[in-house]
Amino acid sequence: MSTRAAREATTAFFTTELSETDPLMRGAIEREEHRQQRQLELLAPKNYTSRATREAFRSIVSFTTIEGYPGKRYHAGMDNLDVIENLARDRAKELFKCRYANVQPHSGTQANQAVFFALLQPGDTVLSMSLDAGGHLSHGLRSNFSGRYFTVVSYGIDPETGLIDYDQLTDLARQHRPKLVITGGSSYPRAVDFARLRAVCDEIGAYLLADIAHFAGLVAAGVHPSPFPHTHVVTSTTNKNLRGPRGGLILTDDPELGRKLDSAIFPGVQGGPLPEFIAARAVAFGEALEPAFTEYAQAVLDNARRLGSVLQKRGYDIVTGGTDTPIVMVDLRRHGLTGDLAERSLENAGIPCNKNLVPGDPQKPSVTSGLRFGTSAVTTRGLRDPELRILAGLVADVLDGLIHQPNHVTKIEAEVRTQVEELASRFPIYQH
């Protein structure tokens, strides 16, 4: 290739748009943009980041390989990246009022993996919430690293109340003497008694890990109890109600443990982190330190409680009768509906959510008797109490249709979809 041809190819490489080079991909992305605009997503993990946070993760810093930590890198040219990572770490510490933060985990699962790597030896015993009770796969699913390399004992919830059975948990801890006790899960809607769990851990000499992925934003804003000073280690994702980009976070107030956790992430379970995500986490943490974020977090909680109370008034059972988090769990057993069927119908109506096992669920995980809702995303879009009442009513309309008018479901879904699209159009994302 001549120099001139090479230069032209280079120019094209840096300037040609995706719609020209890969219309198939551009088309798929555009359809996804339209879907997200038109639907009102009540999926619990779903959220959007600010325009400013997106700017950081679309920035040029993604084209950098960084290994190690600020001041201790394995490559040259890291000065700016050190500033970026220190901003993220310092803001995380300020947000959660603790002395150590690691902002490098690629995901919540890898944050948990690093905690196992730092604190345990293969074969050690871990006590965590069972998956059917709402635990997370990285807390001991057999086919996950956690279940494969460690001995996992599970505690559950009381099928009557839907609350953690603390007496059972204490008995199991005394009997099995785990090295690590994990609290937190993906579908547990209530505040956990961290102090009580710490007392159990102190009695048997175990570490306590709180995985706060589903309510981290509420803790940061002070509208949900903090796991500190009770837990040794806290893990989270940054993309649920912390409103950051995807990724994980590890926190502790013990600098000695912090050193172990740093080397567990790198070089223990990860190589280089994703610098654009570290930059975006720093921006999101900065936003979470602002007073406006407290209003947001309080509204997420108020919206979740409103969703639950409207559904309850319409005759649906809410697991534990309410929520202290963004999560609302609906038990459909009394209506003879499966979570699977309800999820599909709500998706057709423009309200994505997910089927979920409920306490004592007789159905398989692929069918279930429940639905899990979360309000982090619709609250970011600006929906507040008046709109939540409408949206909750629309959810109930779809469920009522499935129960009472099974022959007219398609028509009801279409009617609700029209109303959802109208409501969604008043709360656009990423538009001015």
Ligand X SMILES: *Cc1c(COP(=O)(O)O)cnc(C)c1O
Residues that bind ligand X (CB under 6 A): 45, 107-109, 136, 138, 184-186, 211, 213-214, 237
Closest residue to ligand X using C-beta atoms: 108
- Residue (of 254, 241, 253) closest to 212 by Cα position: 241
Minimum CB–partner distance for residue 106 and ligand X (Å): 8
By beta-carbon proximity to ligand X, the closer residue of 183 and 303 is: 183
Minimum CB–partner distance for residue 192 and ligand X (Å): 12
Minimum CB–partner distance for residue 392 and ligand X (Å): 23
By beta-carbon proximity to ligand X, the closer residue of 134 and 258 is: 134
Minimum CB–partner distance for residue 45 and ligand X (Å): 5
By beta-carbon proximity to ligand X, the closer residue of 183 and 345 is: 183
By beta-carbon proximity to ligand X, the closer residue of 46 and 91 is: 46
By beta-carbon proximity to ligand X, the closer residue of 56 and 327 is: 327
Cα–Cα distance between 229 and 88 in angstroms, integer?
22
By beta-carbon proximity to ligand X, the closer residue of 134 and 401 is: 134
Minimum CB–partner distance for residue 47 and ligand X (Å): 11
Cα–Cα distance between 152 and 171 in angstroms, integer?
15
By beta-carbon proximity to ligand X, the closer residue of 239 and 320 is: 239
Minimum CB–partner distance for residue 111 and ligand X (Å): 7
Bridge partners, residue 248, by sequence: 237
By beta-carbon proximity to ligand X, the closer residue of 136 and 243 is: 136
- Residue (of 349, 321, 324, 432) closest to 41 by Cα position: 349
